[in-house]
Structures are given as structure tokens and as C-alpha cells.
Amino acid sequence: MPPPPPRRALLAPLLRLRAFSSLAHHPPSPPPPRRHQFVAADPTAAAITGRGGVGNPLDPAQLLRDDPVAITASLWVSSFRAQPATAAPPPSLSPFLSRLELWVLAYQKAYADETGSYLPRSSIPASTLSSLLALRNAVLDARFRFGNRLTPFLHSPRAAAAVQDPATLSKRKLRALLTTPGPAPFQDRVVQELLLLLLEPVYEARFSPKSFAFRPGRSPHAAIRTIRRSFAPYLWYIKGDLSPLLHSPDPALIVGALIRDVRDKKVVDLIRSALLTPPVTARPGDEDAAKKKKKRKYQKKKVLPEGEPKPDPYWLQTFFGFAPEEALTQPDWGHCGVLSPLLANVCLDELDKWMDEKIKELHRPSKSDVVGGEDGVEQGNTSWPEFVPTSGPDKTRKVDYIRFGGHFLIGVRGPRADAAVLRKQLVEFCDQRFRIKLDNESLPIEHITKGIMFLDHVLCRRVVYPTLRYTATGGKIISEKGVGTLLSVTASLKQCIKQFRKLEFLKGDREPDPQPCFRMFHATQAHTNAQMNKLLLTMAEWYRYADNRKKVVNFCSYIIRGSLAKLYAAKYKLRSRAKVYKIASRNLSRPLKDKKGQSPEYHNLLRMGLVDSIDGLQYTRMSMVPDPDYTPLPNGWRPDHERILLEYIKLTDQQTLEEQRSCIREEGLITPQDYISMLVWGYKKNAVLLPSFKESDHKGSTEELGSDTDESGDEEIGNPYHVDSPKVLFPTKTSLCSYSCKSQKEKAEKQKKRLTMH
């Protein structure tokens, strides 16, 4: 289960929906050739120098010449255009650092993450643009330092009104400002967002398709569907955990992996500085003092300011508690911030490349096996990839691999000795490259029949039998030989109970007993039911691809319904769950009220709009839970944004257009664009040669319309629309004109008949 989405996702649709259309209509202008040599520390002086722009140097807004989404889209297109991307030379990112448009886009994303609202480009004040210009100049001149709290170039939009001069602060306040741990300065987050805008398209084109997590479009659901499609024929599995690398990174290791694809010194120096600058952490004595301050008899409720975003609701906090082990660890390295997950994938991409080589090396096809022939193409049923037919003793030996964050899963088809040899090589590689000590206990080899746990789903194998035949006396199966095996991906009910127990929703292992949810004690019945319904809907979506989706979601509904029933029994003094169900019904949709309160009927209050309607809990019966989604993942699957990007590159390729035109010429056809151009050219050429067309000629032609006959329709003299062309995609203008003449002639004849009848 992925970590909570950041608020900077508010700008994600802007980046992906407008990217290619804006690039097609408004191509970005090239970056400025050279910056001025004058270094201005003051924002106003930096604006006067006009660095990186050609507009009015007194107005930083005029330096914003292009659309930043179009600039970013051009970087995505150039990164994905070279196939394979690893063979292409690394792109130059230094010119993009000087583009003020990208700095404004990074500021918008950081602003959305800080305040929870999107700031349009037209609403950014001029003082902020000047500060952004000063921050850009400091980065280009290597004067920027991460963690600078005293003299930042750009202040947070929240603290902009309360900014104080460091010279006026006392020593105690200065010491508290420099030593108290807190969030990173706002200007650091703007720089991190800018680096993410530049590095993400470069590495997304180079990452392995077998890596998931911390990447756009590659969610846990995509990993589960990939396992369903590709891991059916494997018998032995190796699970590994490289999460220690995500907790304590080695800066030299990360920078070494980074410079293989990024050769820009300024970008690499920025990331090295972010990794080496130590963050401000709390001292051991400060934690004890903070605990003593919290122990007070009366704690005043915190009132959120008007601009501060509200915390996550209860149902979302509860759902985050169900995060699987593979998704719990999210890297946060020093001052890298939102750049940390990308750098983690950059570091672990070396393992992906090494495993790709091992997959090719260990592939030994067999002609008698339906799995992976000599050409490596699967011969099984593509519409049912989980099914593997029974084969002979000579099986194909092959390996597959998938990684989600710091956890990976390797499937081996063949004897256990092949898995043991691969494990030994994997231990040596991790020791040499990542300096992580692994052993046989940390890399267990398990058979599919025991059940493999990955992303809170259990992989197991079932034998598929032919049509069952029963004897007359008793139901004994005559044919006990299976026709194949089926990969089953089920949700772990044991893990679900464990998570509920951790969240204090139940107690007991064999017979789970729901516990009252006292955190919702002061909420109304309508609000409590609505929160729990959102949790159930999210749980049903999380277990969407599990074979036992109905069973697990119905169990979650039972636990939550029992917990709320106990809560309402304690709140309204009803003593037992049975009385709660009797009054509020099975799904707790009827209103509950205290015996002491004398109030009008609930329906009258609802009709007057004085109370909220109460929604009953969902999925109280197993038949209400939706069925599992067995839609197979297409072969060679890619996320939507990558697929659209590759289609766009293919359509803009000149070679593809020439191939399409040659194919049309071979078929004797003509494109609609060429046909229209021929029509227009023929009209222009023949319209000059035609005599003047007067009104009298028009009347004469209409009178003689009935007497003129044109059987062929191809002998029109002076027809400006006639085009002599081979077989075309649309009917020729000649046939259309002849058809129109015949229709007018028939109308004239009908009119004559009517006149004679009268």
C-alpha cells in the first residue's frame, strides 16, 4: 500500500494533461546562451541585471517567456525518444537550471504542499518573483546552502508576514532557531522540487520496467497484476529486503550511481550538498523535557489557523495503518526531501540491471515445455496467464524478478539448486556494490506450495482437474490427474487481523472480538458511519485483485460494525450490541438517541434540514462485496503517461510518416489531406481560365437544366472540382457533381409532371 499522497499532487494533472498539447502548439524557446558576469545578492539588483532572460530587466514577470509545462514536456520527449534510453548520451540539465519558468513551477508545487491550495501563476506577487530570481542566481553561482534559516532568499508563504531580521534577534532566539528541529526551509523544498522536475524524466526513461514504488503509475496494484501475469510457472521463490539502504544511505554510493547518467556538475554538487549537510536533530535531553511538558492535567484544544491545512481524517489515518511491510519504509535522506525516493531508485537500479543480465543468462528453453519456447515467447493462454498446462519432465529453466521499493521477489523455474546458485551470487553482489551483508536466513528459498507473502498477498498454487465424474455410490473422482496449475493471489486474513489488533479494533487470535472505537466517541452517528464507510470502500479497492476479496472485505465490515455497535452501546447506554442492532438495524442506519433526550421524530428533523442523513455501513453481507478483478495485464504493459508519450513520439517521427505514405501509395489510395489540397489547387487553376459567370447565364442554365443529359457524369467541361486521381479514400468531386445534376434533373421532371396534372 503506497504512502499517503503529498499535496503537491494537485499539480500532477497540469503536468500530464497539458504537457504534450502545449508542446505541440507552443514549442519552448532555447535557453539563454550565456549569463551576465555580474553577481547580485539583492533580489532587486538581480532583477536589474536581467540574468537568464531577455525581457525588461526591471520586471521579473517579463522573464517568463514560455510555458513551464511545455519545457518539462520537451525534456520528457527528448528522454524517451532515444530507445534504448541507456544507450543515449546523458542530457545536459544545466541550461534548464537557468529557466525562471521552471522555478515558478517548482514554487507552485511547494506552495501547494505547504498551504494545501493551488496558486495560479498570475497570482504570484512581484516580490516573490524577485526572491525566486535571487534564489536561482544563488544556485547558479554556488552560493546556496541547504538548511539556511537565518538569511533565506525565499520565505515561506505562511511566515512571510512574520519575517524578522536576524540582527534584531537575541542570542537565545538565535540558538533556538538554529538548534530546534523542524521542517526544512521553504526555499530548500523549492530547490528539491526543481531537481525532481529535471531528474525524473531522465531516469524514468532509463529505469527497469521490473521496478515499482516511488514511480508515477507503478502502484502496488500494478505490481500485483504483474505477478499474476508473469509469475505463474515458477516453483521456487527468493525474497529479499534491502530496506537498510533506505534508512542509512551512503552519499558516495548515491553520487557514484548518479554521475553515470547525469554529467552536469551543478546538479551533482547540489545533490551532494543535500546529502552531506547534516539536518538539525533533537538532543537526548530535549526529548525528556518535551515529555514532561506534555504531562499536564488540562490540555487546551488546538485551533487551526485559517490557512493551515486540516490533518488527515480518521478513516485515512486508519487505512495508513494497514500499509504492508514493503510500503512502510519511505526514504528521507538529509535535505533531499521529495528527491529521496528518486535517488533510492537510482541506487537500486543497479540491482535491476544486474538481475536483467541474470534472467538472460539463466534462460534455457525446452521444446517440450509450453512455458518460454526457444524464442522466449510464451505459448500459454494469454487471456488466462495464471494457468500453466502440465508439461513433461524436461522443463524450461528461467528466472523472473520484481522489486517494490527496497523489497524484491525472484521466481525460479527449475531445480532448487539453480535458486541456491543465484542466491549465492546475489549475496556477493550486494556485499560488493551496496555494502550490505546478506545471508541465507535473510534470503530464504521457499516453495510455492508453502505460500509466498508479498505486499500482504499470498501467492500459492492450485491444481486444476478436468471435469469431475462421480460414481453412483459415492462421489469418488475417477480421473485424479490434473491438467495444469493455477496461480492464486489471495489476501492474507492473518495479516489483516494483525493490523486490526495493532489499531486496537479487536483482540484475540482464533476468535477475534471487536473492541469499541472510542476515538469517535464525540462524533455524531452520521459522521462516524460516513468515516467507516470511506474506510471500507478503500479496503475494498485495496483488495481489488485478491481471489478472496469478498471474504476479506466482509470480515473487515464485520469487525468495524461490531466495533461501532459497542461504541454506540457505551455512548447511548444500551448495554449490549443486540439492543443496538435492534434499534439501528443491521447496518446501523437508523438513528440512536439517549433515553433522557426528548426530541421530535428523526424524520421530521431530517425533513427540516436540522440533522444529517445517516448512511448505513456497507458490505454487511458478502453478496454486497464486488467480485475480484481478473482482467489480465497486457503484455509489455506501461503506465498510461508512458504509453501516450511513446505514441506521441511515434506520430512525430518522420520515418513513421514516410512508412505510412508509402503504404498508402502501394495500395493505390490517397490521404484526405492530399486529396483536399488537390481539390483546392484544381479549383484555383481552373477558376482563372473560366469566363465570367453572369446572372443571365445563371438563369439560362437553370431553365435548360431539365433538357441537358449527362449519362456518364464524367464529361463536365470546365468543372473546377474535377481531379484525375487513382483510387481515393473518398468519392471524387466529379461523381458528386454528376450525382447533384441528376438529382436536380429529377426534381425538374417531377415539377413538370405536377404542373401537367394540375
Confidence bin at 388 (pLDDT 50/70/90): confident
What lies within 8 Å, CB to CB, of 173 at 6+ separation is none
Q: Of 170, 196, 222, which residue is a domain's last?
A: 196
Q: Which of 139-153, 164-178, 403-417 has the lowest mean pLDDT?
A: 164-178
Q: What's the full length of the chain, in residues?
A: 758
| Average per-residue pLDDT for the chain | 77
Q: Is 348 in the same domain as 471?
A: yes
Q: Which of 170-179, 262-271, 662-671, 684-693 has the lowest mean pLDDT?
A: 684-693
Q: What is the pLDDT of residue 704?
A: 45
Q: Is 518 in the same domain as 398?
A: no
Instruction: Please tell me the total count of domains within the chain.
Output: 3
Classify residue 266: in a domain, yes or no: yes
Mean pLDDT value across residues 146-167: 75
The gap from C-alpha 402 to its chain's centroid, in whole angstroms, comes to 18
Q: Is 239 in the same domain as 165?
A: no
Choose between 523 and 192: higher pLDDT.
Answer: 192
Classify residue 725: in a domain, yes or no: no
Give the integer Cα–Cα distance in Å for 108 and 102.
10
Query: For residue 744, is pLDDT > 90?
Result: no
Q: What is the pLDDT of residue 638?
A: 92
Choose between 77 and 23: higher pLDDT.
Answer: 77
Confidence bin at 469 (pLDDT 50/70/90): low
- Quick one: what percent of the chain has pLDDT higher than 90? 30
Give the integer Cα–Cα distance in Å for 81 and 624.
47
Per residue in 489-517, pLDDT tens? 999 888 888 888 888 888 876 678 899 98
Q: Is 95 in the same domain as 77?
A: yes
Classify residue 682: in a domain, yes or no: no
Choose between 281 and 54: higher pLDDT.
Answer: 281
Q: Is 218 in the same domain as 147?
A: no
Choose between 403 and 45: higher pLDDT.
Answer: 403
Q: What is the pLDDT of residue 519?
A: 83
Instruction: Provide DSSP, 578-646.
Output: HHHHHHHTTTT-S----SS-----HHHHHHHTSSPPPPPPS--SGGGSPPP--PPPPTT---HHHHHHH
418 within 8 A of 234, measured Cβ to Cβ: no
Query: For residue 404, is pLDDT > 90?
Result: yes
Give the integer Cα–Cα distance in Å for 526 and 518.
16
Q: What is the pLDDT of residue 520?
A: 83
Q: What is the pLDDT of residue 335?
A: 87
Query: For residue 8, is pLDDT > 60?
Result: no
Q: Which of 101-115, 218-232, 689-703, 744-758 has the lowest mean pLDDT?
A: 689-703
Mean pLDDT value across residues 470-483: 60
DSSP 121: G
Closest to 202 (Cα-Cα) out of 91, 81, 50? 91
Choose between 614 and 47: higher pLDDT.
Answer: 614
Q: 594 is in which domain, residue-wise?
A: 493-624
Classify residue 464: in a domain, yes or no: yes
Confidence bin at 302 (pLDDT 50/70/90): low
Q: What is the pLDDT of residue 166?
A: 67
Which residue reads 501467492 in cell numbers? 459
Give the integer Cα–Cα distance in Å for 454 and 325.
9
Query: For residue 362, is pLDDT > 70?
Result: yes
Secondary structure string (H, E, C) spanning 137-198: HHHHCCCCCCCCCCCCCCCCCCCCCCCCCHHHCCHHHHHHHHHCCCCCCHHHHHHHHHHHHH
Classify residue 145: in a domain, yes or no: yes
Classify residue 293: in a domain, yes or no: no
Q: Is 119 in the same domain as 107?
A: yes
Q: What is the pLDDT of residue 661?
A: 82
Q: What is the pLDDT of residue 327?
A: 80
Beta bridge partners of 457: 454, 491
- Quick one: what percent of the chain has pLDDT higher than 70? 70
**Amino acid present at 715:** E
Query: For residue 193, is pLDDT > 90?
Result: yes
Q: What is the pLDDT of residue 162?
A: 55
CB atoms within 10 A of CB 251: 14
Q: Of 598, 624, 650, which residue is a domain's last?
A: 624
SS3 486: strand
User: How far lies 746's CA from each of 302, 711, 752, in Å?
Assistant: 86, 13, 10
Choose between 25 and 307: higher pLDDT.
Answer: 307
Mean pLDDT value across residues 244-262: 88
Classify residue 22: in a domain, yes or no: no
Q: Is 480 in the same domain as 501?
A: no
Cell numbers that stand for 330 in this block: 519511505
Most confident of the following: 166-175, 559-568, 660-669, 731-740: 559-568
Q: Is 180 in the same domain as 69?
A: yes
pTM score, two decimals?
A: 0.76
Mean pLDDT value across residues 42-60: 44
β 211-212/236-241 pair status: unpaired
Q: What is the pLDDT of residue 757?
A: 63
Q: Which of 271-275, 379-383, 550-554, 591-595 has the lowest mean pLDDT?
A: 379-383
Give the integer Cα–Cα distance in Å for 351 and 429.
8
What b/e string do you get for 642-681 counting C-beta neighbours within 10 Å, with b at 16 or more?
A: beebeebbeeeeeeeeeeeeeeeeeeeebeeeebeebbee
Q: Of 491, 506, 540, which residue is a domain's last?
A: 491
Q: What is the pLDDT of residue 333?
A: 85
Q: Is 349 in the same domain as 234?
A: yes
**Amino acid present at 482:** G
Q: Is 430 in the same domain as 534?
A: no
Confidence bin at 36 (pLDDT 50/70/90): very low
CA angle (85 as vertex; 83, 86 as ends), nearest 5: 125
Classify residue 166: in a domain, yes or no: yes
Q: Is 487 in the same domain as 497?
A: no
Q: Is 171 in the same domain as 266?
A: no
What lies within 8 Å, CB to CB, of 401 at 6+ separation is 210, 352, 355, 356, 358, 359, 408, 409, 410, 411
Query: For residue 596, is pLDDT > 70?
Result: no
